C-alpha cells in the first residue's frame, strides 16, 4: 500500500520553495507547487487564485489539482470549477471564509495556515488550509491555496440543532478518532470534547460512546438510503 504524505509535509515543501523567492524577481506559482503535486493525497486539493485587480470578486479561481475525496453529501469537485470568485455558487462562503484571508495575505505578502470551520451550501465542513501569496514588489499576482479535508457533514437526522463543533465531533467520531485526537484536531480542550460527547449521549439516548457512534452511523446510512 502506498504511503500517504502528511499535509504538514506538503505545507513544509511549499513554504521552503516560497521562502527562496524574492519580491524583486517574482516567482511563478508553479515554481512553488510543482514539487508537491505528486505528494497530494486523496483528501488534498490545490487551487490558484489569480489576482486581477483590487476587488477579490473579480479574481479568478483555477483548480490545479482536484481532491479525490467524494461524498454523497456534497460534490466538492463539481462545485469548485474554474471561475471568477464572484461567480462561485455559494457567495456567502467566499465572502466569509475565503476572501478576508485572501485580502490579508495579498496585502501582507505573508503565508497563512489555519483550520477552517465553515459551511458550504448548508453543509458543515472543516479543512486545514495554507495560503501562499506571490512575493512581488508591484503587488501579488497570485495566491496558492492548498487544503486537507478534515470533516464534511450534512444536517443531522435528529431535529435538534447541532452547532459546528458538535457536527465536527460527530464526523471525527464516525471516522474513528478518539476524544483526545478530536480535541487536537478542532483546537478544543479534552474536557470540552468529553462534555459535548456526554450531552450528545443524553440527546440520542446512547449508553456509551461506542453506542453513540453506532447510532450516528446508522442515522447517516438511513439518511443516505432515502436520497
> How high is the pLDDT of residue 73?
67
pLDDT tens, residue order, the chain (227 aa): 456 789 999 999 999 999 999 999 999 999 999 999 999 998 899 999 999 999 999 999 999 999 876 666 678 888 899 999 999 999 999 999 999 999 999 999 999 999 998 889 888 788 999 999 999 999 999 999 999 988 776 544 444 556 777 878 887 887 778 889 888 888 889 999 999 999 888 887 788 888 787 777 655 544 443 33
Give the β-pairing of 60-65 and 44-50. antiparallel
CATH class, domain 7-153, is alpha beta
Pairing of strands 142-153, 44-50: antiparallel
Domain extents in the chain: 7-153, 164-225
Angle at 76 between CA 66 and CA 121, to 5 degrees: 150
C-alpha cell recorded at residue 196: 459535548
Kindly state the cell numbers that stand for 60: 479568478
DSSP string for residues in the chain: -PPPPPHHHHHHHHHHHHHT-BTTBPPPHHHHHGGGGGG--TTEEEEEEE--SS-GGGSEEEEEE------SS--HHHHS-SEEGGGSS-HHHIIIIIHHHHHHHHHHT--EEEEEEEEETTEEEEEEEEEEEPP-TT---EEEEEEEEEEEE---SSSSPP-HHHHHHHHHHHTT--HHHHHHHHT--HHHHHHHHHHHHHHHT-SSHHHHHHHHHHHHHHHHHT-
What is the pLDDT, as a whole number, of residue 224?
A: 41
DSSP string, 87-113: GSS-HHHIIIIIHHHHHHHHHHT--EE
| Whole-angstrom distance, CA of residue 1 vs CA of residue 101 | 37
The pLDDT assigned to 29 comes to: 98
The region, left, alpha or beta by phi > 0 then psi within -120 to 50, assigned to residue 121 is left
| Domain 164-225 grouped into CATH 1.10.10.10 | yes
Amino acid at each position: 500500500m502506498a504511503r500517504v504524505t502528511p499535509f504538514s509535509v506538503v505545507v513544509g515543501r511549499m513554504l521552503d520553495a516560497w521562502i527562496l523567492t524574492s519580491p524583486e524577481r517574482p516567482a511563478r506559482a508553479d515554481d512553488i507547487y510543482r514539487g508537491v503535486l505528486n505528494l497530494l493525497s486523496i483528501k488534498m486539493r490545490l487551487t490558484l487564485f489569480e489576482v486581477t485587480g483590487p476587488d477579490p470578486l473579480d479574481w479568478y479561481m483555477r483548480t490545479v489539482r482536484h481532491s479525490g475525496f467524494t461524498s454523497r453529501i456534497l460534490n466538492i469537485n463539481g462545485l469548485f470549477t474554474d471561475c471568477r470568485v464572484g461567480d462561485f455558487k455559494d457567495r456567502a462562503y467566499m465572502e466569509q471564509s475565503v476572501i478576508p484571508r485572501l485580502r490579508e495575505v495579498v496585502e501582507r505578502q505573508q503565508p497563512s495556515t489555519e483550520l477552517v470551520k465553515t459551511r458550504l451550501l448548508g453543509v458543515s465542513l472543516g479543512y486545514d488550509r495554507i495560503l501562499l501569496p506571490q512575493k512581488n514588489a508591484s503587488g501579488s499576482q497570485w495566491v496558492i491555496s492548498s487544503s486537507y479535508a478534515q470533516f464534511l457533514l450534512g444536517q443531522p437526522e435528529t431535529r435538534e440543532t447541532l452547532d459546528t463543533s458538535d457536527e465536527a465531533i460527530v464526523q471525527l467520531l464516525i471516522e474513528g478518532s478518539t476524544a483526545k485526537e478530536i480535541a487536537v484536531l478542532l483546537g478544543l480542550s479534552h474536557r470540552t470534547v468529553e462534555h459535548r460527547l456526554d450531552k450528545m449521549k443524553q440527546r440520542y439516548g446512547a449508553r456509551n460512546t461506542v453506542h453513540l457512534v453506532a447510532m450516528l452511523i446508522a442515522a447517516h446510512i438511513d439518511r443516505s438510503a432515502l436520497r
